[in-house]
Structure 1
Amino acid sequence: MDQSVRSRAISGALRLGVHPFMHRVPGHAGSIRTARSAVDAASLLMRTGSRVRVVPLHDPRIESGGGHPVKGEWVVPRGTGDAPAGASAPAGASAPGAILYLHGGGYVVCSPRTHRPITSRLALDTGLPVLVPRYRLAPEHPFPAPLEDAVAAYRWLLDRGVPASGIVVAGDSAGGHLAATLAGEICRTGLPSPAGIVLFSPWVDLTCELSTRAQRRARDPYISAYAARRVARLVVGPAGFDDPRLALLTCAWTDTPPVLIQVGGDEVLRPEAEALADALTAAGADCELQVWKGQMHVFQMLNRVLPEARAAMRDAARFVRSVTVQSVTVPAARTSEEPEVAA
């Protein structure tokens, strides 16, 4: 579809007011902590409502013999029965399927709360509960700490009886990188494969080589490849970029489940998403790449105001239902234009 008037207006405002600031964000721990505090404070202003429930989760995993604790929240559509397993639910309650959502934020900012516009929409449109772990952030906890927490969350779902064939792993931006890295780790460690993977504007290459080359010609109103490179140095920590788990473009991608990638046509990370789709297809994976004309980085966050974002989320829900249909029976997609969340 052609870019909507609202999309053009928002992109123009961000290009003038936000991009120059993002381009100059210093890549040191102090500035990151300041940005994190500001983002967390802003997330408290989110509108709440009654269409979904938000259920806190904190499992120290003492009874299971240790391992990394699982913290975060469930986003659950109301009217679907009991809460998911382990989420303050009656004994024995469980879900036939779930979405494991890994939020973005450059591995340094954001939280499950900041991404409720996406996770609540996914819950409403698919009828599935969405587990959003609060994984550890850099620079205090560089890679592979976030991956360890993502693996712990996936194992937690399996341990509570949610079948792998009913789990979809999803994420945006850095969370998209983490979701793809988790898929590779699941394969390497012999865990059962999830039903599918959904990536919104994934940050594929933390070295930022592709996005840096695209910076001059991209019309991204939000993300700066140069700033992303500065942040990436904090994410990888002293080990640098040599950890093979970081390198999504050279991963073997053996036995990869179906993948949906959505990327904005104007964003600087578009070449990375296209390169990942090529790598997955070359490895024999079933990969659907959607390039949304005129859209910016993680435009799906604006699904309450942008028609393109609502359409993209409907496509994501379609994909989730298609890959889980054999193991999970979910209600028909809801058509509410403005999903709300209630803590």
Structure 2
Amino acid sequence: METVKEVNIPPFARTPSSQSRVLTTAVRFGVRPFAGRIKGRSATIRLWRSLLGAGARCLRADPRVSIEPIIDPCVEDPDVKRPVRGEWLRSPGCSPERGAILYLHGGGYAICSPRTHRVITTRLAMDTDLPVLAPDYRLAPEHPFPAAFEDVLDAYRLLLARGFSSDRIIIAGDSSGGHLATALTAEACRTGLPAPAGVVLFSPWVDLTGELALASVSSSRDPYIVPAVATRFGRLYVGKGDWEDPRLSLLTCPNEELPPFLIQVGGIEVLRAEAEALAEVLDEAGSPYDLQIWPEQMHVFQIFNRLLPEADAAMREAGRFIRRVLGTDSITEAA
């Protein structure tokens, strides 16, 4: 419950709720010890995919949103090499003429899927009344770089081929999906592909080498991410790729004019330093951005938007940003 003193304070600067503190403690003692044992072996990765898939069912997605699985070859664009797989999510008041959201799920490039992130994608669909396309991109270690990048680039091309103007498209993503969203946007600006109207990042994983995570002062406080494990996942995805490839190395690439960014990151997560580093790169490039550091919040806390007041507020902030960028502020927020 908000105190009188906090009424005029932005939601990302307020005292953490008791619900948030309880959940953070539970994750720190119930999940982190096991997460630290992930060695990157195929059998372990498959186990975690199953566990997180089952756990995602406990986070109920908004039942008002329709979900349509797709396998679309997008024959209209010869540059799309593989059928786009994933799902469309639409609210009851969906207005595709206003634009669309391309949502790229996280999971260290090795786990999770559009299904595990429906509590976020359905919320975005309800808060914006925009159709949300969540591609089911290929995962490492079976499919290392550039497989995931190529798949999300194809998904973006699909939106353009379906008549969505680039200035009506928002690219959003969390964790490794945040890395993909940034890489995809920068690639569009580098290659002359029409750039999106804006980018929304939840706890973006920016440095796949793991150097920033290992040096982070939050490494001991983060209730979820173990820096050494993040480094292993980075190696799984990059594989034999060039670490200096601009599609991988985000902190050395953007000299282009990029669209507006909203970056949300938890105050105690190990990826906070990476979000701050990305903000510095955007600032040096003269690109507009809004960096929100949410006190005492964990990695991708937005996924608990039906449980935590901070996560609910963060999703509302994301919805406002999207509507402001697209000029659809008159759309009513989801209750």
TM-score (norm 1): 0.89
Give the distance between the partners of 2:73 and 2:219, measured in 1 at CA.
47
Give the distance between the partners of 1:314 and 1:45, measured in 2 at CA.
22
Give the distance between the partners of 1:22 and 1:215, measured in 2 at CA.
19
Q: How much has 1:36 moved relative to structure 2? A: 1.4
Q: How much has 1:215 moved relative to structure 2? A: 5.6
Q: How much has 1:41 moved relative to structure 2? A: 3.6
Aligned to 2:98: 96
Q: Which structure has the higher relative contact order (CA within 8 Å, separation 6+)?
A: 1
Q: How much has 1:30 moved relative to structure 2? A: 2.2
Give the alignment partner of residue 37 of structure 1, picking from 31, 43, 50. Answer: 50
Aligned to 1:67: 81
Give the alignment partner of residue 27 of structure 2, picking from 8, 11, 14. Answer: 14
Q: How much has 1:43 moved relative to structure 2? A: 3.6
Greater mean deviation of Cα atoms: 311-320 or 95-104: 95-104
Give the distance between the partners of 1:47 and 1:304, measured in 2 at CA.
8
Matched, 1:274 2:276: yes
Give the distance between the partners of 1:63 and 1:80, measured in 2 at CA.
24
Give the distance between the partners of 1:50 and 1:261, measured in 2 at CA.
27
Alignment of 1:159-308 (within 5 A): 159-214=161-216, 218-239=220-241, 241-308=243-310
Q: How much has 1:217 moved relative to structure 2? A: 5.3
Matched residue type, 1:334:
A
Aligned to 1:90: none
Note closer, same or farther for the CA distance 1:18–1:138 as it changes in structure 2 (3 Å cut).
same
Q: How much has 1:63 moved relative to structure 2? A: 5.5
Note closer, same or farther for the CA distance 1:3–1:281 as it changes in structure 2 (3 Å cut).
same
Note closer, same or farther for the CA distance 1:42–1:12 as it changes in structure 2 (3 Å cut).
closer
Greater mean deviation of Cα atoms: 23-32 or 210-219: 210-219
Note closer, same or farther for the CA distance 1:178–1:315 as it changes in structure 2 (3 Å cut).
same
Give the alignment partner of residue 160 of structure 2, picking from 149, 154, 158. Answer: 158
Matched, 1:122 2:124: yes
Aligned to 2:334: 334
Greater mean deviation of Cα atoms: 228-237 or 257-266: 228-237
Q: How much has 1:333 moved relative to structure 2? A: 1.4
Give the distance between the partners of 2:20 and 2:55, measured in 1 at CA.
22
Q: How much has 1:223 moved relative to structure 2? A: 0.7
Query: How many residue pairs were aligned?
Result: 321
The SS at the match of 1:184 is helix
Q: How much has 1:239 moved relative to structure 2? A: 2.4
The answer to whether the 8 Å contact 1:128/1:330 transfers is no
Give the distance between the partners of 1:47 and 1:101, measured in 2 at CA.
18
Note closer, same or farther for the CA distance 1:330–1:72 as it changes in structure 2 (3 Å cut).
farther
Give the distance between the partners of 1:311 and 1:49, measured in 2 at CA.
16
Give the distance between the partners of 1:38 and 1:24, measured in 2 at CA.
14
Aligned to 2:93: 79
**Which runs of no fewer than 5 residues in structure 2 stay unpaired?**
1-13
Give the distance between the partners of 2:330 and 2:136, measured in 1 at CA.
26
Give the distance between the partners of 1:9 and 1:132, measured in 2 at CA.
31
The answer to whether the 8 Å contact 2:218/2:269 transfers is no
Q: How much has 1:261 moved relative to structure 2? A: 0.2
Note closer, same or farther for the CA distance 1:253–1:183 as it changes in structure 2 (3 Å cut).
farther
State the Cα RMSD in Å. 1.7
The SS at the match of 1:239 is coil
The SS at the match of 2:264 is strand
Aligned to 1:53: 66
Q: How much has 1:17 moved relative to structure 2? A: 1.3
Note closer, same or farther for the CA distance 1:122–1:302 as it changes in structure 2 (3 Å cut).
same
The SS at the match of 1:257 is coil
Q: How much has 1:208 moved relative to structure 2? A: 0.8
The answer to whether the 8 Å contact 1:264/1:294 transfers is yes
The answer to whether the 8 Å contact 1:60/1:68 transfers is yes
The answer to whether the 8 Å contact 1:102/1:179 transfers is yes
TM-score (norm 2): 0.91
Matched, 1:25 2:38: yes
Give the distance between the partners of 1:61 and 1:158, measured in 2 at CA.
10
Give the distance between the partners of 1:311 and 1:234, measured in 2 at CA.
34
Greater mean deviation of Cα atoms: 285-294 or 22-31: 22-31
